[in-house]
Amino acid sequence: MKIIIVGAIAGGSTVASQIRRTLPNASITLIGSDSRIGYGSCGMPFVIGGLIEDKEKIGGPNPKRFSETRNIRTLVKHQVTSINRKSKTVEVCNLETNETFQVSYDKLILSTGCHSRVPSLKGLGDLPFFTLKSYADMEEIVRYLDTEKPQSCAVMGGGFIGIELVENFIRRGIQTALILRGNRVMSSMDKEITDVLYEEMKANDVDFYFNDEIERIEGNRLIMKNGVAIKTDFLVASIGVIPNTSLAIESGLTIGVTDGVVVNEYMQTDDPDIYAIGDIAECIDWVTGKPKRVQLAWHAHRQAFIVSSHLADRPVKLNPFLGTTITKLFSLTAGMVGLSEQDLRAEGFDFDTVSHEGRTNAGYYPDHGTILIRVHFDRNTRQILGAQAVGNKGVDKRLDILVTAMMGNMTVDDLAALELSYSPPYSSPKDPINLVGYKANL
């Protein structure tokens, strides 16, 4: 079997490795436009901030060694420019020589990822400007910071990547302004959670410009719509990404309402010989049953396993996605699973919310933390529809318990009965998760 994989970062390099294990005799070709494969995109903000001192630790495997040890033909700095579904071939361009050639396939896997959304601003070229999506983007930012030693910056966008960049610029001693069209950071989460994040950022000297946006750039000044001018050394945009679906569109594959490639539970497109995984794949939401596209590493890795199993005639169906995500912000950790309060209202759910704020472990133990947990549940069935947490210790543990509870179809009341591990350094006789369950019955 001849298998071609287009895109060589998280999903592409992972599916190539997994197919090699499940199909030891397959001919596998991995094609990527970058010079690197399989690098740790999620670690890039922490390299920028210097928390990860050696960028090569997230740099991924050496392409040549990867090719030799796994017997996978690996083409870096190459780009697939077209797909001929009738002849089952792809046209490939060597980006260094501009040479083009064709490669045939039996099965084709698209893992082409996304690219950063760039704002349309008058005067954008007047100021050093960056986005962060690729390893090369990260290297460009680090090089600029190391050589130019800027004192100030502005970040557009307050989502997960935006706030991680803010923290890491602050870590490097750069005065940082955060510019938001809306009225709060992390708008995908509940206001009660984002209020805590805002206070943490304010305590770390982040400057905020809410309900505002850049009208134009004049030299090193950002002229804002609300009339103020922000003087800054450089600008970073983290205002979303656009899926790289041009190949899929040009080859006639169906694009869904999320702008992703429509796939079935085995990651097949409407052409059964073409699969799509990662950022471009439109899957299903666990709570609503509606189309959902998740741009996170866990999901790409899971999809890679689904594809490799299907190709090996050991099919495993992909579950709908909960969209679990977590982030670090200075001394805090925040995460969410399922739908937020605003999402549930928009979808018309009849739901209640239970909150618990308290210690993460025994108060008499020297190293205790605090946590705020919010759980949304169906008013009639008591099924958990979404949950969020923020705190300085143990957030990941509690969030993962709630993920497991949702996937196990537990009710909010069942949380009180969970026999969770207890010792003063780790929890209390009634864990915060147990207390959520008890409070839901009040």
Write out the catalytic residue numbers. 42
The DSSP element (H or E) to which 336 belongs, if any, is: strand 332-338
Q: Which residues of 357-396 are buried (b: 16+ CB within 10 A; e: fewer)?
A: eebbbbeeeeebebbbbbbbbbeeeeebbbbbbbbebbbe
CA-CA distance, 324 to 203, in Å (whole number)? 27
State the DSSP string of 48-106: HTTSS--GGGGS---HHHHHHHHT-EEE-SEEEEEEETTTTEEEEEETTT--EEEEE-S
Contact 347, 401 (CB under 8 A): no
The DSSP element (H or E) to which 177 belongs, if any, is: strand 175-179
The DSSP element (H or E) to which 27 belongs, if any, is: strand 27-31
Structure tokens at 194: 């984002």
Which letter does DSSP use for residue 321 in this model? B
**Which bin fits 118, alpha (ψ -120 to 50), beta or left (φ > 0)?**
beta
Other C-beta atoms closer than 10 Å to the C-beta of 249 total 11
Nearest to 111 by CA among 277, 317, 225: 277
Q: Which residues of 50-79 are buried (b: 16+ CB within 10 A; e: fewer)?
A: eebeebeebbbbebeebbeebebebbbbbb
Strands 241-243 and 229-231: unpaired
Contact 220, 128 (CB under 8 A): no
Tell me the backbone φ, ψ of residue 226, rounded to 5 degrees: -80, 5
CA-CA distance, 332 to 201, in Å (whole number)? 10
